[in-house]
Structure 1
Amino acid sequence: DSRVRSKINKAKIESELLESNSLLKVQKRERLQELEEGIANATTRGDLKTAKKLERQKNSLMEAISKL
């Protein structure tokens, strides 16, 4: 029946979207960790300009993650 096939296809697509969304979240969290390490390193070096730049990137990334 075409309705059953349609429901199966829709379920597959939804499953794939959830999977890719989860992968995206993992990648963004890894990037977030990299930014936090960069901020710590820049702060340790006394490079406040870079630290502030990385902090802004981190904040926008956190906002993007919260919308996923």
Structure 2
Amino acid sequence: MNKRNFVVTVKESNGDKSWLEVEMHEDIGLDAGKIIVMELPEGSQFDEAEKIANFLNNNLENFSIKTLHK
């Protein structure tokens, strides 16, 4: 597998709601100041979020932005 262009980390708001943030290691065309966030359902536990982040980090190769052609 190639070196991935991202890392998914778990973020938390005041011990409250957790979400996953994709930290990009290269420019994929996101507008300045934009980030990729995956929001978790209310009541999700931090350790559950860590399991999801670990799965994504170990099983995805790259993130990219594509244009769909019709």
Same fold (TM over 0.5): no
Q: TM-score, normalised by structure 2?
A: 0.30
Structure number having the greater strand percentage: 2
Q: Larger Cα Rg: Structure 1 or Structure 2?
A: 1
Structure number having the greater helix percentage: 1
Bigger relative contact order (CA 8 A; separation at least 6): 2
Q: TM-score, normalised by structure 1?
A: 0.30
